[in-house]
């Protein structure tokens, strides 16, 4: 049952990773075309989310120590991104 759960989580992470990368590219393109810093910033947000999903995919089949490390990196990125906005 745990293997099936991991497989479903992995599939979901791949889907959201692909969607976020697609959104980031679309926001960057439309932001550059329309000279909109808000759209470019939204693209950066989606790109940072994509990075977190990629880290999660990497850690999914690893030990709990790797999973904790991935969670810490994800949290650190969110704090860094929030500080950058401020």
* 1 pLDDT higher than 70: no
How many distinct structural domains can be found in the chain? 1
Question: What is the domain extent for residue 73?
Answer: 2-85
CA torsion, ordered 39, 41, 47, 50, to nearest 10 deg? -90
Render pLDDT for 5-62 as a digit per residue (tens, 0 to 9). 778 888 988 999 999 999 999 999 999 999 998 999 888 888 888 988 888 888 887 7
3-state SS, the chain, equals CHHHHHHHHHHHHHHHHHHHHHHHHHHHHHHHHHCCHHHHHHHHHHHHHHHHHHHHHHHHCCCHHHHHHHHHHHHHHHHHHHHHHC
């Amino acid at each position: 049952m745990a293997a099936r759960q991991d497989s479903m989580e992995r599939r979901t992470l791949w889907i959201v990773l692909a969607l976020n990368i697609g959104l980031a590219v679309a926001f960057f393109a439309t932001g550059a075309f329309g000279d909109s810093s808000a759209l470019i910033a939204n693209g950066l947000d989606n790109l940072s989310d994509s990075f977190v999903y990629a880290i999660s995919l990497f850690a999914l089949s690893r030990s709990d120590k790797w999973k904790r490390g991935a969670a810490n990196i994800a949290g650190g990125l969110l704090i860094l991104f929030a500080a950058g906005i401020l």
